[in-house]
Amino acid sequence: MITNTELQRKGDQYPASIISYKKNIDTLYFYTANNVVLQLTVVRDNVIRFRYSTTGIFENDFSYAITKYASRGYNKLELIEEADAYIISTQKLLCHIDKANTGVKIYDASDNKLIHQDELGFHWEENYEFGGDIVKMSKVSHDGESYYGLGDKPVQLNLKGKHYQNWVTDSYAYTKDSDPIYKAIPFYIGLHHTKSYGIFFDNTFRSFFDFAYERKNVTSFWAHGGEMNYYFIYGPKMEDVIAGYTDLTGKPHQLPPLWALGYHQCKWSYYPESKVKEITSKFRELQIPCDAIYLDIDYMDGFRCFTWNKDYFPDPKRMVKELADDGFKTVVIIDPGIKIDMKYRIFKEGLKNDYFCKRADGPFMKGKVWPG
């Protein structure tokens, strides 16, 4: 982990004072004395995008995550210049940009309460360890502030006091606090004094998030490459933040079944049938809403896909019906590999019909499918 002390020692670059600005319909460019440029775009009245360049030249504006519909800007942008700051106002937000260093403070326009602010803000340094660049953003972590998000990290819901990296990893037999694991979702929600906001860091390089771990009152995120390019999404309610996030990243054209949007209980692994029933009964006893229960590889007969272990699940059809009667959908895992076994009907069918992948030189593609 790179500390701010190390950043200072290695000769990193912070924005200098703002010397000029340019305003388009929905976008502002703030130019500094040391060539750092802040591009600020008001996407919605509660969504602001921040991009930083250390050379004055921005990368091509492309994103794997943002939908084309999200690029439409907000045409009611107002800018006021004061002695020490520029103030951008929308119907829901007041965004202050400090003239001395481009530092950002964001207020709720309805009551003028501070929601979010930079600590050191944006800074850049050369990555001496691995090569390339590091782009970093540090924010003030307010007293009582809590953080949620980043996908299914194996920790408590509140991420404060923790740090994580986003680097998709097939992590076998992970445990509490293992990191990284399967998902890389660079989006989190901050909540303090009943007001919530979201940060979506749109950067595909290996990235890191520190929620007041290294320093008690500072939250930061950074990446080993790419741009400092993030979206601030205001609530004040969490559901408003999620609505703003999906405005950016997309909403389904057709809604899935209602049960698919509910809570799903999944782990490796629930077996035999009595254990599955114990789990589902406990959910109902505690009145915790749950719409689906997952069965992992142990429901299979010797890890053979499309089979059942009859010792653990003697009558799957009956069990699935009973779970459905209790309001649970049953979801079973299917592996990408088929077990090599000449007595296994599915394997023989695959051979007969030439279903399996082959290597470039002809033989079948063989490999291990965890855990064996």
User: Are 285 and 209 in the same domain?
Assistant: no
Residues 215 and 279 in one domain: no
Packing angle of the helix pair 316-325, 273-285 (nearest 10 deg) = 0
Give the end of a domain, one of 249, 282, 315: 249
In-domain check, residue 366: no
- Residues 198, 55 share a domain: yes
- DSSP classification of residue 259: G
The answer to whether 106 and 118 are in contact (CB under 8 A) is no
Question: Which residues are within 8 A (CB) of 146 and not within 5 positions of it... i.e. 6 or more apart?
Answer: 158, 159, 160, 190, 191, 192
Structure confidence by residue, pLDDT tens digits, 165-205: 999 888 877 888 888 988 899 999 999 999 999 999 999 99
How far, in Å, CA of 169 to CA of 134, rounded?
A: 21
- The predicted pLDDT at position 4 comes to 47
pLDDT of the residue at 72 = 64
Give pTM, 2 decimals.
0.82
Extract the tokens encoding 225.
């490459």
Tell me: do 37 and 166 sit in the same domain.
yes
The CATH number of residue 69's host domain is: 2.60.40.1760
Total structural domains in the chain? 2
Q: Helix, strand, or coil here: 133?
A: strand
Q: Are residues 52 and 200 in the same domain?
A: yes
The answer to the question of residue 19 being in a domain is: yes
The whole-number pLDDT of residue 73 equals: 65
Give the structural domain span for 33: 4-249
pLDDT per residue rounded down to tens, the chain (372 residues): 444 444 444 558 999 999 999 998 889 999 999 999 999 999 999 999 999 999 989 999 999 999 977 766 676 789 999 999 999 999 999 999 999 999 999 999 999 999 999 999 999 998 877 778 999 999 999 999 999 999 988 889 999 999 999 998 888 778 888 889 888 999 999 999 999 999 999 999 999 999 999 999 999 999 999 999 999 999 999 999 999 999 999 988 788 899 999 999 998 899 999 999 999 999 999 999 999 999 999 999 999 999 999 999 999 999 999 999 999 999 999 988 899 999 999 999 999 999 999 999 999 999 887 643
Per-residue tokens: 78: 């107002």
Distance CA 174, CA 154 (A): 8
Task: With beta carbons less than 8 A apart as the criterion, state whether 214 and 163 touch.
Answer: yes
Q: How far is residue 107's CA from residue 92's CA, in Å, rounded to a whole number?
A: 9
* Statement to judge: residues 306 and 245 lie in one domain: no
Is there a domain that residue 190 lies in? yes
What integer pLDDT is reported at residue 64 of this predicted model?
93
Tokens of 68: 């084309």
d(CA 87, CA 109): 11
Whether residue 341 lies inside any domain: the answer is no
Same domain, 245 and 263: no
Looking at the structure, tell me whether residues 271 and 244 fall in a common domain. Answer: no
The reply to whether 108 falls in a domain is yes
Domain closes at, from 214, 249, 284? 249
CA separation for the pair 188, 142 (Å, rounded)? 15
Residue ending a domain, among 230, 249, 268, is 249
Least Cα distance to 184 among 198, 197, 171 occurs for: 171
**Same domain flag for 207 and 305:** no
Sheet holding 329-332, edge to edge: 264-265, 292-295, 329-332
Residue 345 placed within a domain: no
Token pair listed for 55: 């050379």
Regarding whether 124 and 165 lie in a shared domain, the answer is yes
DSSP summary character for residue 93: E
243 and 289 co-located in one domain:
no
Residue 346 inside a domain? The answer is no
Please report whether residue 183 resides in a domain.
yes
Q: Tell me the two tokens of residue 267.
A: 């782990």
Residues 243 and 272 in one domain: no
